Chain A
Amino acid sequence: SQTIHQWPATLVQPVGSPLSLECTVEGTSNPNLYWYRQAAGRGLQLLFYSVGIGQISSEVPQNLSASRPQDRQFILSSKKLLLSDSGFYLCAWVDFRANYGYTFGSGTRLTVV
């Protein structure tokens, strides 16, 4: 069956430290993958999406980058975190079982201190 995994669930990082969040999908091939961020009390902001290995589209220029080293792996990174990077980070994939809507991973709650 198709599943999506994200880790870690929570993360507390100091300002200026690096970040790496990983998302993997199982049971499907060549999925479209997405990274979203949700600031506290706010809506979903699309950060990056990828339609295939090595293909990354950035929606919002900022302190983050994304990579897709393998078909079912999507990584969100930062070299130096800012306080404003705090938020709930969600990975999603296009799920044909959901009428081609998105199925989200369980998310990573990042607090930059």
Chain B
Amino acid sequence: AQTVTQSQPEMSVQEAETVTLSCTYDTSESDYYLFWYKQPPSRQMILVIRQEAYKQQNATENRFSVNFQKAAKSFSLKISDSQLGDAAMYFCAYRSPGSARQLTFGSGTQLTVLP
């Protein structure tokens, strides 16, 4: 079974600075999908960014980018120019490409943005 590990329970960053959240995963599959979701306090989870394993190019969405290292099974999220609204719990998630459509989540990283 696949597992996802987020080794940083909490992180903080100064407003306008850059922060990187770590995620590693374990799988024997060669093709899969990786996601970062954001869960603000008392609000629903929203997708931040996604990466297909077969793509070598790292995904980017505005201030959010990933560093996908397939051989190392690492998928970190970089947030540039951090804003107060970025404060949230961030979850890394894995999905197989086949019929098993469920997401396997890490335990999350609580990000605090300091003014």
Task: Check if A and B associate.
Answer: no
Point out residues on A near B: beta carbons under 8 Å: none
| Interface residues of B, Cβ cutoff 8 Å to A | none
